[in-house]
Structure 1
């Protein structure tokens, strides 16, 4: 069990960095689709995206823009799957009670729904011609986005109020709502989950460094089950 948790922790940590780096390549691919060119009207987005699109042109122009976009979009499913799985590990280890027990469920529901939406959005698309499942994916994306924003913020605030340690991961969760709006002003929607990715990625890295030692021990101290 502990070895599996360590493996999931490493997975969450690595995929947080994949989301940070490859997610921006997906954003550039999105901006390259003519219908999405208006995203570059934002000065913050254009400041980095326009020179990056020139620099990485070979990675963006190897096919039809829509095909490039859905191909790079496939990175989001394993990224979301990684932090979702480790979120359930943290939830199980904390054995939450009282209000914390309620605070976990909107966040977990958002993570699961977000994972499902990234799969339906991109792993069902293999050409530049979108099939009907792309629209189904969007119907999942909107509620997932809202649940991740508000659920993560509520969960982070709750865990901080209950003295959860280390502080940084839970602070990232608490700041998910304001950070997401700032991130979306600069890049694409997928990256709005970066604070959540790194929150569970940091916890996963700590668990992996202890070779699967329980998250409630060895410096990752939180009052499990406190009311």
Structure 2
């Protein structure tokens, strides 16, 4: 069931609640992306109450700052509080794993457990980056040449999206379905396990995808409030979704 959570500064956040049992709150990747964890939620709803949400400035939530790690943590707490959860498990992916970790450090009494999925790491030197880059190239296979071509120089809007899809496809374990999964990630509002929304044919604006890709790289090299604020700011300024979803109060 879709709901709206109002943060302490009045910004409206989209949330979906599904299932019954011990609570698990999801934190999607980005910053600047939207929730893409519906398949994971579908695996858990028979045993857990799952709460998915779009972080501010993305997806179905309002385009309204400020944007920072502290603000994202406060929004996560607003989701928890809205549903009356004294404690909840947190499941975070990529940047969302970092957000979940930050929240758990700040509010340990409100977190029952933490699932850290492909997080950006806490090593400020990002010592894993070389190995990560090698594996991306290895998993791209015969698409490596096209990926390298797209990475070199200016791109059109379609090419920007193509690059994101190729890059994201390397994160999936099943190579035969990786491109399809990545295509859906690049389409805001796409769902597979929820009948509440139909897959959208609307594409995010070029700068939105570029900002998302840049945000992932920045956050993996240094997780800071200024990085999150700059990256989400770009995503918000460039997105065309303001025509469809509400902006800041007033």
Same fold per superposition (TM over 0.5): no
Q: Which structure has more helix as a fraction of its residues?
A: 1
- Normalised by the length of structure 2, the TM-score is 0.27
- Normalised by the length of structure 1, the TM-score is 0.29
Q: Considering Cα pairs closer than 8 Å and 6+ residues apart, tell me whether 1 or 2 has the greater RCO.
A: 1
